[in-house]
Amino acid sequence: MVAAPKVELLHADAHCIVALKASGLLSVPGLGEHGQDCLAARVQSVRADALIVHRLDMATSGLMLFGRGLEAQRALSRAFAARTVRKRYVAIVAGRLPADAGEIDLPLSADWPNRPRQQVDTAHGKPSLTRWRVLAVDAAQGTTRLELEPVTGRAHQLRVHLRAIGHPILGDALYAPPEVCARADRLLLHASSLGFAHPASGAALQFESAPPF
């Protein structure tokens, strides 16, 4: 008998679920037979009414939120749209940043000839803001560990913003130069913190996940 795909739930109640996604696993189903294994399907295998609220890139690991039923999903989706959900990521990037903290305010749009890539687009891009804070510097390796807060939620926002300021994320096959991509066997980006109001009670919930790198 084939073992059921592994799913790790950090929280599950009658209204919402917080699950941990592995790097290399899709958030939602993709194309073809091999694209059907995804975190949404794994969570639904143990909680059939779980509905996706947001996504992580396939290469990104970390915390994802699900609503149980349409009412909870819609309430949580509205919270994301209103930017009341608090998200933090940890990444390891090439080089040393020029300060201890800062912001990247660069508009982004789809790079249509090179989909799914995104690009900085000062003429037609959507406003996009990322806050960053240095957690540690590894001078010997020439890398910096960052905490990242995506104030907006554009596709690939963290990856494009960091590449744009000259500090691509290690292991990033889409945006890092080959020599930076080759420095890790996965994208070193992890959704490490998730805070939101419970969709039914309004109670403040906070979840943390240490990055596996």
Give the mean pLDDT of 108-135.
Answer: 96
List of residues 6+ apart from 205 with CB closer than 8 A? 11, 16, 195, 196, 197, 198
Do 163 and 101 lie in one domain? The reply is yes
Residues written for the chain: 213
- Give pTM, 2 decimals: 0.95
Rounded to 5°, angle at Cα 76 from 8 and 147: 65
19 with 52, same domain: the answer is yes
Q: Which residue has the tokens 């990856």?
A: 159
Q: From CA 106, how far away is CA 160, in angstroms rounded?
A: 9
Are 73 and 98 found together in one domain?
no
pLDDT at 2 over 80: no
Cβ(101)–Cβ(134) below 8 Å: yes
Cβ atoms of 73 and 26 closer than 8 Å: no
* 16 and 66 part of one domain: yes
| Residue 37 sits in the same domain as residue 110 | no
**What's the DSSP call for residue 213?**
-
pLDDT of residue 30: 85
- CATH code of residue 23: 3.30.2350.10
Same domain for 51 and 93? no
Closest Cα to residue 55, out of 45, 43, 65, 44? 65
CA–CA gap between residue 46 and residue 158 (Å, rounded): 31
98 lies in the same domain as 62: no
Do 138 and 165 lie in one domain? The reply is yes
Report residue 3's pLDDT band, with 50, 70 and 90 as the boundaries. low
State how many domains the chain has.
Answer: 2
Residue range 22-51: average pLDDT?
92
Question: Is 182 a member of any domain?
Answer: yes
Known catalytic membership, residue 49? no
67 and 128 both lie in a single domain: no
Q: Print the domain residue range for 133.
A: 88-189
Quick check: 115 pLDDT over 60? yes
94 plus 183 within the same structural domain: yes
Asked if the structure places residue 212 within a domain, the reply is no
Contacts of 161 by beta carbon, 8 Å cutoff, 6+ apart: 104, 106, 108, 128, 130
Q: Are residues 17 and 51 in the same domain?
A: yes
65: helix, strand or coil: strand
| Beta-bridge mates of residue 62 | 21, 191
Closest among 103, 133, 108 to 122, alpha carbons compared? 108
Same-domain status, 109 and 136: yes
Catalytic residue among 37, 57, 105, 172: 57
Structure confidence at residue 32 (pLDDT): 78
pLDDT category at 1 given cuts 50, 70, 90 is: very low
